[in-house]
Amino acid sequence: MNFALPDVNLVAVLPELILLAAAVGVLFFRAPGSNGMALGTALAAVVLSVLVTPFLHGQLSGTAFSGAIGKDDAALFFIFLADLAVLVALALSRNDTLGDGNGEAYYGLLLFALFGMHVMISARDLLVLFLGLEILSLPFYVLTGFHRKRREGLEGAVKYFLLGSFSSALFLLGMALYYGGAGTTSLGALSSAGQPVFLFAGLAFVTAGLAFKIAAVPFHMWAPDVYEGAPLSVAACISVAPKVAAFSVLLHLGLLYAGSGANFFPWAAAAMAAAGMVVGNLAALRQEGLVRMLAYSGIAQAGYILMGLPLLSPEGHSAVAFYLFVYLVMNLGAFAAAMTVAAPGKKGPRIMDLAGLASRRPFLAFAMAVFMVSLAGLPPTGGFFAKFFIFKAALGEGWLALVLLAVVMSVVSLFYYFRVVVVMYMGQGEGTGDRGVESPFSGALIAFMALVTLATGLLPSPVFHGIQSIFSRIIL
């Protein structure tokens, strides 16, 4: 009887081991005054993960654990982005845990969510992918309702849990169909399995489950209520980090689809992109709350990023990765600015609360204006080149109608993004945007993200070409 030993490679999962150990350890910090220690431990774990990740470059031969885990350069890049998003969320979370005796659980759950993102990004098997998806989702269900006295938070948590459970059921159904068609749950079977109906039907359901994580239309219904009800640092993290993990998986699936000769994936991605741009931008026009507006903005931004999936080319995937990097910086910056003008533990600010902010806090108003201009996709910010690269790649592949729609919707977005700028600089009255606590650290973080947003607009080539070199070496 032959028995094959499993391919155990602990070096391949070293960042994940660090995060898992820290997450478990933080949950045991229950002594009085241990909130700061828990935060410090969580920050140290994520920083250590960021430092260890480049070490894996060149150390792995594509896959580990018998092909269930794959960490090529593209996966390491997305892991770095996820670490960066959670690191910023942790740095901004102090106000959300002030006076709460469960701050340790807050930081532990964020680390568990990041661990799930790592597993998702590295997964090369549907079972491992589902495991990562659930480890990512469950902590965010709890964190959305972390402030138990806020009705909006509890309502958002329930909606997030119910709709998230539905998306998980879709994923499981897809995995079952995939297994029925391929006889395995390994994603590698897709490129050599011909075109069995069960296999592609299964992957359609899997794609739907992943689309929920990026708030792609028609799987977007949870986003506005969750963003508005969750603590702002959690909302900031949810707005970016799960998108990074889900898009990394969708990009990998897109390459496998291309290798199999299937042609329905590009059209499905294009349809979700078009719907996201239209629904997100038009709905954002009617919003009075700043966080709710950012939620619909995130749905629209997901639509723009989805334009890169139908391209199935290294240039298109590089454009998606560049867009995700810029979106991470500018969107987290916008949430960080919103946190400084919101009362701790209360509902996020309304747009009119920012009236006259430029006269009272000029540097904060300028940074917020930079983020709004970048989200609108105007120069000299990174948001302009994020859209430029993805539009250029789409035109090169013949998606003219999709690009024209994206341009029209970008013009529509100017109305609600510039409304924030106009209110800050020309709004009458004193507003109420001075309720938050702006520490020197949060101010420096906002300034740094504004500088990065401007730098990627003034000097985009080094970043984009670096990302291109990464995606030219993708291992399927």
- pLDDT by residue (tens digit) across 8-24? 677 777 888 888 998 88
Structure tokens belonging to residue 437: 């606590």
Sign for the pseudo-dihedral over CA of 279, 284, 285, 286: positive
pLDDT digits (tens, 9 = 90+) for 289-308: 898 999 999 999 999 999 88
Cis peptide before 462 (omega within 30 of 0): no
Per-residue confidence (pLDDT) for residue 99, from 0 to 100: 60
Q: What is the tens place of the pLDDT at every residue in 141-182?
A: 998 888 777 788 788 888 899 988 988 999 999 888 888 877
Which residue in this structure is represented by tokens 């009705």? 151
| Beta bridge pairs of residue 123 | 69
Q: How many residues does the chain have?
A: 476
- Residue 133: CA count within 13 A, CB half-sphere: 29
The pLDDT tens digits of the residues spanning 398-454 come to: 889 999 999 999 999 999 999 999 998 887 655 555 555 556 677 888 999 999 999
Q: Do the beta carbons of residue 410 and residue 418 sit within 8 Å?
A: no
330-379 tens-digit pLDDT: 999 999 888 887 655 556 688 888 888 888 888 988 999 999 999 998 98
CB 366, CB 354: distance < 8 Å: no
d(CA 51, CA 49): 5
Query: What pLDDT was estimated at residue 404?
Result: 94
